Each structure stands twice: as C-alpha cells, then as structure tokens.
Chain A
C-alpha cells in the first residue's frame, strides 16, 4: 500500500488514526499500532509476512542472548548479523548472482526468481541496528518481542524508510506523548510530503519515463537533459516526499523520527551532498560499518578500503543490478577524488561553480542509477553530450519537455531552501528585527521540511520582543490553508489515477 494511494489516504490512514487515538493506554496503543503495521505489510506482501515475523523473532532471540546469556558476546552479534544479511542476500540477490554466475561459468546456475519481500532492505537494516545497539549497550534488549515487532514493522517507515536507529526509537515505544501540537505538525508535514510526491514527482516522472522510453537517439541532447533533469527531480521529490509523509504520520502517532533529506541539491561538494541525501542510510553506513572499520582516522590506504566497502555496499543495497554497483563505484571515485585530488581546488571556486559541479555529478550519477541496460545507458549518455544533435529524430513539440517547464521551475525552487528562507525573513520581520538571524536556533539552510511545520515555538519569542504577533499568526494560518489546498489537489490527483511509481519501493 503506497502512502500516495487512494486506499491508504482515504481508508487506512483515517481508520488507523481513529483506532489508535481511541485506544486506551500505552500497551493497547502499541498493540493496535503493531496490528495495523502487520496489516499494512500483509496488504502489500502477504506472501512474506512470515519472513518479517521470523526475522523479528530471530533478532529478538539473539539480542536476549547477547545481553543475558553471553554478555557482550561478539559471536552472538556476528551470528545475528550473518543471519540478517543472509536473508537479505538470498531474497534480494539470488537471481542476480545466479544470472552472473551462469554467464561467467557458462553453466546454468538455477535461478529461483524469487519475488523480493516488501521492505526487506529497510527492516533488515533496522534489525541490525537493534542487535548492534544492544551489543554496544546503547539500548536494552526488549523483553517483549511485540515491542521489537512494533519497531521493525512500524508502518510509517516500513517500505521506504527513514531507517530509524533502534536506540532512537526505543524510548518512544513506551515513553512517547501524543500531543495536539505534534499531531498538527504531522498533518502539515504529511501534506508537504504528499504534494511533493503526487504534484511534483509523479508529474515529472511522465516526462522522464517518456524520454527514457524513446531512447537517446530519438530525443537528442535537449530531450536527454530534460529527461535527466525530470528524473533527478522525480527521484528527489518521490523519496523526500515519501520520507516527509513517513515522518508526518509518525508525528500523528506521537513518534519523532529524524529528517531524511536536507536540501541536498544545494550542496557545494559531493561530500556535503551525502550529508544531506538519504541521511538515515548514510548514517547507518557511517555508524555501523565505516566507523567500526576505523572511519577516517586511519592511513590513506585504509581510508580508501573503508570508503570502497561502504560505497560498494551502498550501491549493492540499492539494487541487484550492475548499474547500481557502478553507481556506488562512481560515487566512491568522486568522493576519493574530492578527498585526495580536487577537493581543495573545488573549495576555492565561487559558490555558483561549486553548485554546478555538484549538480553535474549527481545528475550523471542518476543516469547510472536510472538506466539498468548498459547499452541504453551508453546511448543516453551519448545523447546528453550531443551525439544525436539537439532533438534527435524528434521535433521539439513532440518531446513535450517544453510543457513541463512550469513544473520543473517549481521543482527547482522547491529543491532549494527558499521557503524556509522566506519563513526566516518573515519571522525576523514579525519579531521586529531588520535582518534575519539565527537567534531562534534555526539556520534556514538546515531546516528540513519537518521544521517548517512548527510555527508554535516562535510565538512566545515574537510576543516577548513585542513583535507583530497577529501578522505572524495570519501568515501561519495562510500557510496552513495553502497546505490544505495542496493536500486536496494531491488527493484529486491520486483519485485521478496519476502515474505513480515509487522508485525506492523496490528496496
């Protein structure tokens, strides 16, 4: 069930929220939430519900063993991780390995062609954080496996993240508070996320798909760059929108989950880009693989090895196909290049050029991510650099890239922190200060979507400075109304059956 589907928005979500908030007491709320999460999972993938349950029980048992029977038992930890990775590897990579071995060895290696269990890439990493956090003493193992099941199957973050670290989630299992402030902030974030997904991502996805389907030689450089720009925006708004919805729904249920995107497209280096893109994944790899291997406090040769492991795994995690591995290796090369070769030179360039450099890098990387067929990829890259002329075999009108200009402009603007910048200016003005400042503890470039939704914390500040509180409230109400309109437009779009692939759904 996608968050942007009619059945989720119009049936599952309202029923879930009502059932959850009417449930008495924390225990019952947790059970209701677990039941809803399992229903959500079974709805999308009834075949592999048993696998999710099995993975939960296995990790619960290992964690109990780690802390109770064998204190700080590395062996238990290693077993738990091996089992988790083995399950993931088997279901996700069996076909890929079989196909490649067959090609390499010239013999027919059996390919079971297993469908990939829903969300396996996400819940596996979450369960790994559980056993590791217990091993490290960052969290206590759960006595009740239902609590672990709630964490692993938590429906807002099941199918596409964010990957919530167990130690961050654990205190909220029993200790969270459902407040009106949090709920309303969740509504706002859900509306932002849904709009990003349905009104932006789904629309530009049509252009991206069309350009890819036509092929590089048919569309020329203009078509190829339009398609790649559309795909870059599709990917960002699809994924960040989905994350926003996940975080928003979590807030409505009383949970606080960390942001997953922080305006990555404004980065001035690729290193910075990866601090802003899919934050929960890069945090996982940093915390659970990179740092345990020594991180960056090692010799250069070891650093290269550490980064290679992380980036190859990152590529592999994204998909069982060679293009994802090449994509991971691409970023490895660029990051090593920034570290050892051109990083210093790039940092001395004007900001605009640094932006362009990063934009070029991530757009080319998305081409690798997008096109799995190497022949098609080659043609598309050739088209990007003019091998087939400006328009290929097509005429400008029929490419219809021109029709998407308004939407692409909105996408480009929305991928920058313009809205939080305007907000911070408005806040400063309402508070009676002539210039924007970070007095309020929120630099606008660091504001993720979720903080846009919290107007309440500033009223006291404005009032204490004798500022324009009425105006601030009017602005907040106006923004809320805009969000409601966007949500209504989004629901209309969902009902109208807009083209709606969720890219990260396949992980």
Chain B
C-alpha cells in the first residue's frame, strides 16, 4: 500500500512539474484541449500584453543572458490557464490581507502583497493607492510646471486651459488619502504644479466634492471616468473656455448592461469585484463629423462604439479594455472636423486617455478639434503649432502623464 501511494505521489508530482511540458506537447500535436487552458492564446487582455515567443537561440544572446530571460518569459507566459493562475494567486494573498484588515479595522486594503491598488470593500471597487510625496516628486512636478508655463508664455496667441483631473490615484477625496501620510494628492498638486502655472494658463477645477461623488464619477474597476461624469466636466470646461456656449445636446445617457467588464484597476490589481462595470455614455446630437487619425481618414464611429455595442459586436475576452474599445484607443493625433460647429475656432486638446470620452463633444463647439497625445505623437507640440492653426489649447491629462519627462519634452522648446 505504501508503494502504491508512493507511485501515485510520484505521478502527481510529475503532473504538477510536467504541466507546462504536457500542455506544450498537446498543443504541438494539435490535440484538442479545453479553451480555459488558454493554450491557443498569444495575447493576454488581463495583462495587456502579447505572450513571449520562444527566443531565437544564438551564441550572442546566450552569452548576454537574453536567451535565458526569453525562455523564462516564454515558460511563464505559456503556462496553462495563466490568467486564472494570476488571479488565483492574488486572491489567496488578498484573503490573508483581508483577514488582517478586518482585525485592524480597515475597509480598504491592498489587492495583493506589493500591489499599487487597493480594494475598497464597502464600495466594492478597486482604486489606485496614492503615491507618497517626497523631494523627488516635488522636483518632478515643479519642473513640469515650469515647462508648461514657458510653453504658454511662448504662445500668447493661444488661450491655454488646464483641466485638473481629480482622480482616485491623486485626490484628497480618495478612500486611501486619509490612510496615508504626505502623498501626491490634490493639495500637493496645487502647491507644486497648478499654482505655479502662471497667469497664461487658466486652471479648471474638477467638480467632485467628496469621496462618494468621486466614486460615482469613476468606474469601480477602471481608473477612467464614466461617460456621465465626463460629460458634466466637459460642460464645465466649455463654460470656462467659451462662456455662454451651449454644450453638445445630450440625446440619451445609456448604460450598456449587456457588456460587463473589469477595467484597468481590476486588471492591474488582479482583483475581480463582485459587480463588474458597464460602459456609461452620454450620446450627443452632433451632425456628421470627419475624423482623421494619424493622417488617415476614418469613419466617425471610430470615436464612439455605440453602434457596435448595439449590434453586440464586442471583444470576446472578458478582460478586453472596454474603455478603449468603446470610446477609442490612444493615438498620436486625431483631427475632428465639424462644419456645423457653433464656432469656426479650432481647439487643441493635449491629453491622455481621459479625453477619449469628451473629444467628440467639443466638436459641437469647435470647427476643428485636434487631439494630441504626447505619449504617441511623432511631432512635438511646437512642430504641430507650426503646421496647424489653433485658437484654444486644453491640457487634459492625469497626474501620471502630464509631469512625465516624455510629456514635458513633447512640449518642445
């Protein structure tokens, strides 16, 4: 009997350490395997990456260690049911953390050991933890403020606006704010960035007055704002930029209940909330506008996926980036032209993914709306301004983008 158990144990052990090899062989032999094992997948929507391929074995790559790193990545990436493994691993860690949180009386706790994200149990949402403030952060933001101020001073012909995106990862209204010591919060950003922008840039403050309002405005599992909140903020921005102008007329505010998703914070925090999110959008009445993306003409539906969602044409993977799928992804330069706009002026939005919801709204007010993403654009802003005429400039970026070296460098000199 002992012998039998030992042989069985040996087989279990072989199955455990041989799981990768067995899966790989089955795949190579085209043996049908359950889809959940994900052996056919070359991309993970959960991680937002393409799985590593087996590296090319060369002497140079072996000597440098590149080949070995590539093999390590390949083996780890191609492990059967990798997405499930990642989530399960985070889940058991989170259960231990949750026990501690309950003992210490915390409602908000990290999603796994070492995570930058926290699970807010009462609100059932996943939020980014605020960054601790330090001397390096102060330097980064003040240097960035100098760059934006200089830009505005070089272009007195432009009316410059900076919308302060109040978001969970940098707001005094975040549930993690009062749990932290000095952090990169709204007050920090005001002191070390917005207050230093000078008079040439008009700062537009966000409207979220407390934690509940902030939570209401943002997705529970994504760092972006939902369509309803974004529309309200668009109206506020418009009022600052074009006092008295009529915002784009809302036809309907829809919640796409048929398409559930777990957004960026859920994916990065490896934490699936009890209730997934749904895209919320305010559909507006704007006559056909023309869209060009990176110089290529595109159908206007590219900026808003309501048509596809109506037909149920959505990405099959449950971890698809629905925000980008619905509102559009990030591109270097988008141009939206509306000949029926309220004015013949042109607007340059220098933004990140936060502008993806609102850019088409501004097409109701401006004949031409340029959307420039410093992370993807091939021109600097200076080079852009030499080619295109712009009346108003709106900076619409979160605090993880606008102070970066890349964003600052793209402002040009």
A residues neighboring B (CB under 8 Å): 1, 5-7, 9-11, 13-15, 42-44, 46-47, 180-181, 183-184, 187, 203, 206-207, 210, 214, 218, 393-398, 400, 402-407, 456, 459, 473, 476-477, 480, 484, 487-489, 491-499
CA distance A395 to B86 in the complex (A): 30
Q: Do residues B99 and A406 form an inter-chain contact, with CB atoms below 8 A?
A: yes
Pair A11/B21 contact, Cβ less than 8 Å: yes
Closest 8 CB pairs of A and B: A397-B179, A10-B20, A496-B89, A206-B114, A6-B76, A406-B96, A394-B181, A6-B75
Q: Which residues of B contact A491 (CB under 8 A)?
A: 16-17, 19
Check if B10 sits within 8 Å of A187, measured CB to CB. yes
Residue in contact with A184 in the complex, picked from B10, B108, B182, CB distance below 8 Å: B10
Chain B residues with CB under 8 A of A459: 2
Return the CB mask of B1-25 against A: 1 if under 8 Å, else 0: 1110111011011101111110000
Contact at A14–B96, with CB atoms within 8 Å? no
Which residue of A has the minimal Cβ distance to B82?
A495
Can you give 7 contacting A-B residue pairs, CB < 8 Å?
A: A180-B6, A487-B13, A487-B16, A492-B85, A495-B79, A495-B82, A496-B89
Q: Are A10 and B75 in touch, CB under 8 angstroms?
A: yes
B106 near A1 (CB under 8 angstroms)?
no
Q: Which of chain A's residues have a CB closer than 8 A to the CB of B35? A: none
Q: Which residues of B contact A402 (CB under 8 A)?
A: 100-101, 103-104, 106
Contacts of B76 in A (CB 8 A): 6, 494-495, 497
Q: Is the CB of B181 within 8 A of A393?
A: yes
Per the bound structure, the CA–CA distance linking A473 and B93 in Å amounts to 32
- Interface membership of B72, Cβ < 8 A: yes
Checking A14, A473, A477, A498 against B21 with a beta-carbon cut-off of 8 angstroms, the contacting residue is: A14
Contacts of A477 in B (CB 8 A): 5
In the docked arrangement, what's the CA distance between A134 and B64, Å? 38
Query: Which residues of chain B are near A407, meaning CB under 8 Å?
Result: 96, 113
Chain B contacts with A in 1-58, Cβ cutoff 8 A: 1-3, 5-7, 9-10, 12-14, 16-21
B10 touches A180 (CB 8 A): yes
Query: How far apart sit A494 and B176, CA to CA, in the bound complex (Å)?
Result: 29
Complex Cα gap A436–B273 (Å): 49
Min CB distance B331 to A, Å, is 30
State the Cβ distance, A207 to closest chain B Cβ, in Å.
8
- Asked, given contacts A14-B17, A397-B180, A398-B180, whether A184 binds B63 with beta carbons under 8 Å apart, the answer is no
Mark B residues whose CB is within 8 Å of A: 1-3, 5-7, 9-10, 12-14, 16-21, 62-63, 65, 68, 71-72, 75-76, 79, 82, 85-86, 88-90, 92-93, 96-97, 99-101, 103-104, 106, 108-110, 113-114, 132, 176, 179-182
Q: Is the CB of A403 within 8 A of B179?
A: no
Residues of chain A lying within 8 A (CB to CB) of residue B63: 46-47
Question: Which residues of the partner chain A approach B132 to less than 8 Å between Cβ atoms?
Answer: 214, 218, 394, 398
Complexed CA–CA distance, A480 and B181 (Å): 46
Determine the distance from Cα of A382 to Cα of B373 in the docked complex, in whole angstroms.
Answer: 47
Other than the given A495-B79, A495-B82, A498-B89, 6 more pairs (CB < 8 A) read: A6-B79, A7-B71, A11-B21, A402-B101, A477-B5, A493-B89
In the assembly, what is the distance between CA of A475 and CA of B152, in Å? 75
The answer on a CB contact under 8 Å between B88 and A14 is no
Q: Is the CB of B6 within 8 A of A43?
A: no
Tell me whether B6 and A181 are in contact (CB under 8 A).
yes
A10, A398, A402 interface centre (most CB from chain B within 10 Å): A10
Q: Once A and B bind, how many residue pairs between them come within 8 Å at the CB atom? A: 136
Complex CA gap A181/B100 in Å reads 41
Residues on B with beta carbons closer than 8 Å to the beta carbon of A207: 113
CB distance from A474 to the nearest CB of B (A): 11
Q: In the bound complex, what is the Cα–Cα distance between A166 and B123 (angstroms)?
A: 62
Q: Indicate the member of A183, A398, A404 with the most B CB atoms within 10 Å.
A: A398
Taking the closest CB of chain A, its distance from the CB of B28, in whole angstroms, is 15
Do A404 and B20 form a contact, CB below 8 Å, given A10-B79, A47-B63, A184-B10? Answer: no
| Contacting residue for A6 out of B72, B103, B106, CB 8 A | B72
**Is B5 a contact of A7 with CB atoms below 8 Å?**
no
Given A181-B6, A184-B6, A203-B93, A499 and B114 contact (CB-CB distance below 8 Å): yes
With CB as the reference atom, state the residue of chain A lying closest to B99: A406
CB distance from B223 to the nearest CB of A (A): 20
Q: In the complex, A499 Cα to B115 Cα: how many Å?
A: 11
CA A473 to CA B3, docked complex, whole Å? 12
Bound-state CA distance A251–B320 (Å) is: 46
B110 to A403, Cβ gap below 8 A?
yes
B9, B12, B113 interface centre (most CB from chain A within 10 Å): B113
In whole angstroms, what is the CA distance A218 to B134 when docked? 10
Q: Which residues of A contact B16 (CB under 8 A)?
A: 484, 487-488, 491
What separation, in Å, do the CA atoms of A493 and B113 have in the docked complex?
12
Contacts of A43 in B (CB 8 A): 68
**A252 (CB) vs chain B CBs: closest residue:** B13
* A14-B18, A496-B89, A497-B76 known; A395 vs B180 contact (CB < 8 Å): yes
A405 proximity list for chain B (CB < 8 A): 100, 103
- When C-beta atoms are compared, the residue in chain B nearest to A494 turns out to be B76
Contact B72 A403 (CB under 8 A): no
Q: In the complex the two chains form, what is the Cα distance from A4 to B7 in whole Å? A: 25
A489 surroundings in chain B (CB, below 8 A): 89, 92
| Residue pair A496, B100 in contact (C-beta under 8 Å) | no
**Residues in chain A near residue B180, CB distance under 8 A:** 394-395, 397-398
Task: For A406, list chain B residues within 8 Å (CB).
Answer: 96, 99-100
Q: Is the CB of B75 within 8 A of A7?
A: yes
**Interchain nearest-CB distance for B53 vs A (Å):** 15
Among A7, A396, A499, the residue within 8 A (CB) of B72 is: A7
Chain B residues near A495 (CB, 8 Å)? 76, 79, 82, 85-86, 89
Is B93 a contact of A187 with CB atoms below 8 Å?
no
Nearest opposing residue in chain A for B86, CB measure: A496
Residue of A nearest to B1 (CB): A473
**What residue of chain B has the Cβ atom nearest to residue A392's Cβ?**
B181
Please tell me if the beta carbons of B21 and A403 are within 8 angstroms of each other in the complex. Answer: no
With both chains docked as a complex, state the minimum distance between the C-beta of A265 and any C-beta of chain B, in angstroms.
22
CA distance A210 to B88 in the complex (A): 24
Determine whether the beta carbon of A492 is less than 8 Å from that of B88: yes
> How close is B296's CB to chain A, nearest CB, in angstroms?
37
- Contacting pair B85 A496 (CB below 8 A): yes
> Chain A contacts of B20 at CB under 8 A?
6, 10-11
Write the chain B residue with the least CB distance to A398: B180
Q: In the complex, A15→B21 CA distance in Å?
A: 9
Tell me which residues across on chain B come within 8 A of A206, comparing CB atoms. Answer: 113-114
